Structure 1
């Protein structure tokens, strides 16, 4: 049976950290961020951080948790992981920093870990961190995440560096194209974090997230093969939210997805445990 996102550790007393909004110093402020350090034992929502290396992903993690990368290993893997917690708007969040990777196509252990965490851990929100100065290089991973889930927020990080190079990104247009919120951030300075937290809370609590992105290939033979295989996957695993993505991975010979189909663990995606049940 595939494991959910790794079990949380026991953290130190809460570090209240920086607050957002004009009433950030008020203990009852609904939009206030309270950094909890290590992941809390009880949580309402799970957030995964995904992104290429050197996008500032760990800086976002540290800004939200108050940690300086508490690192351990993923179960059964030599790949490092970091997790922590924070509260926002009266809810407690466990946040897991996935390994930095350029794709989810299962060509390395890092990619296996990140892909399996998104597929089988089924976080309530995946924050895809992208470097605004190298957006073209970062978008392939964002698109792959979107093919797995619609519960995504894109953190367009390092916008201050981009501005120094004369680069601007139309976040509204990018959000329309991707179908998910896109928030401009400069995590080192704390810029955009209140808006990022609001977007995370919105996606975590919505009952109607957008469906996974279905990219259309312009090869009729490939499209026919994907559609035929996706229908067979749906027949075997009713309720699977991203059968088209699974079909593409099977056609590419992804060994992890092939094993999940053979073992039947792919069916867990149609009825994964809630965050409390997985805690």
Structure 2
């Protein structure tokens, strides 16, 4: 049975994300603007094993903390539109710096593949990366590619196919914070779950509300048609700086 799946491409600027997008979609792409935003959206498709994959090239960002319109657009798409796969493109030559965004995304959704791009440049510099160790540490699939030459694409296609078919599942290793933060998350998380059910990671929302993410609070109020007092738990309201 033929199906269509949505894949979001996320990553820092200059990781080769657009190169990967172009290599996957070829001429089957178009651009426009996000509704109500000046941020450009690029969308394209490719076909694999008779399934159609619709790729959404999210704005390149260094984080998803709502510090800019680009960050809000990328965050909202991953969290609320819930693509079948979020493909996080990272630069093999700056892996440690790039994984900061990857860790933020796997807190939002388990449907993640880490795509380590620019492996040709890494090899020139004598950099070796053990993707199997990274997969175990992160709890999500890790694939090495070079988008310019399409090296590693066969494995990438196969990994995406297995993830959307539930042959494999992401089980992200949860980032643990200081005890006092974990205590506050534990108090707020059940209350958040009553608002969003299991549609979104209640732990992630609790963490962002504790950090005072006003933009996310406004988005939750709009999408769930709830008032501020219905989303903020009385026991924790003083911890959310709004």
Q: Shared fold by TM > 0.5?
A: yes
1:184 aligns to 2:144 (yes or no)? yes
2:88 match: 128
Q: SS in structure 2 opposite 1:145?
A: helix
1:91 aligns to 2:51 (yes or no)? yes
Deviations 1:15-41 (A, max 9, x none): xxxxxxxxxxxxxxxxxxxxxxxxxxx
CA distance in 2, matches of 1:227, 1:185: 39
1:230 aligns to 2:189 (yes or no)? yes
Give the deviation of 1:208 after TM superposition: 6.9
Q: SS in structure 1 opposite 2:88?
A: strand
How does the TM-score come out when normalised to structure 1?
Answer: 0.76
Structure 2 gap segments, 5+ residues each: 227-242
How does the TM-score come out when normalised to structure 2?
Answer: 0.87
Q: How does 1:66-105 map to 2 (within 5 A)?
A: 66-67=26-27, 70-105=30-65
Give the deviation of 1:55 after TM superposition: 0.3
Q: SS in structure 1 opposite 2:83?
A: coil
Aligned pairs, number: 225
1:253 aligns to 2:212 (yes or no)? yes
CA distance in 2, matches of 1:227, 1:81: 36
Distance 1:137 1:266, change over 3 A: farther
CA distance in 1, matches of 2:206, 2:54: 31
Q: How does 1:1-279 map to 2 (within 5 A)?
A: 44-67=4-27, 70-206=30-166, 209-211=169-171, 213-217=173-177, 219-263=178-222, 265=224
Give the deviation of 1:180 after TM superposition: 1.3
CA distance in 2, matches of 1:194, 1:145: 24
CA distance in 1, matches of 2:161, 2:37: 31
Contact 1:44–1:92 (CA under 8 A) maintained in structure 2: yes
1:19 match: none
Contact 1:125–1:204 (CA under 8 A) maintained in structure 2: yes
Contact 1:226–1:247 (CA under 8 A) maintained in structure 2: yes
